[in-house]
Amino acid sequence: MRKALRIMRLTLTLALAAAIVGVIWQKLGPRLEDLPDSAVKPKPLDPAFVRLTPREMATLPLATRFDMPLGSEHGAFTYNARAFRIERHLGDDLNGIGGENSDLGDPVYAAGAGRVVYVGNPGPGWGKMILIAHRLPEGDEQGPVVQTMYAHLEQMQVRTGQIVQRGDPIGTVGTAEGAYLAHLHFEVRAGPYVNPGQGYADTALNRIAPETFIRTHNGSAPQVLNPGPQTD
């Protein structure tokens, strides 16, 4: 009996203490209306966690060949002004052979068959950007999915969800809204993550050397002369 009374007194004491703390908190604690917006509003989803679903990956067009996105199909009339991993660079900066703004407005082509998964302007320094997802043949060492990224565009001529074929015009060379001289920032990325990301990093992240990837997935011998870009 005495043990039961002690337990009852302890329980009542704890309940009374909790009630007192509750009253004090209600009087002195922060109210929702007093909290900053960042504490009460849901934060936007981090794009690093956005990825294609298994169904979306399985229904991507099969890309059996890739060509350069600027100049001719073998990259003629262009040069690589800043290659992959030079000064932490995560892509290639492709320029027209005239340099400076000579390639401003030149057509940019889809490097391979795929589906457009991002069209937009992700932030300062990027300008307009397009991401295209491609399904690689079974057994490809870079597969099953890669994405090609085209940035600093002046115009975008595709929409999210659109199917494109290798060589389809998707936009034009720009300056990232005046941030740089005209050129195309071109990346190849492994995996299904639909994230604009960054253009420089201490490690390669999920990026693949674009020139190497195109060369190993080109599908035709280097000595084959392909048509040059269309001119008005």
Give the model confidence (pLDDT) of 22-55 as tens digits.
777 676 665 655 556 665 566 655 666 788 999 9
HSE-up of residue 131 (Cα within 13 Å, Cβ side)? 21
Give the model confidence (pLDDT) of 109-148 as tens digits.
999 999 999 999 998 889 999 999 999 999 999 889 999 9
Q: Which two tokens stand for residue 196?
A: 């604009």
User: Are 199 and 90 a contacting pair, CB within 8 Å?
Assistant: yes
Name the CATH topology of 47-216.
Glucose Permease (Domain IIA) (2.70.70)
Residue 59 has pLDDT above 60, yes or no: yes
Average pLDDT over residues 171-175: 95
Cα dihedral 172, 215, 212, 193, rounded to 10, equals 60
Whole-model pTM: value is 0.76
At a CB cut-off of 8 Å and minimum separation 6, what does 116 contact?
130, 131, 132, 158, 159, 160, 161, 162, 163, 164, 170
Domain boundaries, the chain: 2-34, 47-216
More confidently predicted of 19 and 198: 198
Q: Which of 20-24, 38-42, 67-71, 168-172 has the lowest mean pLDDT?
A: 38-42
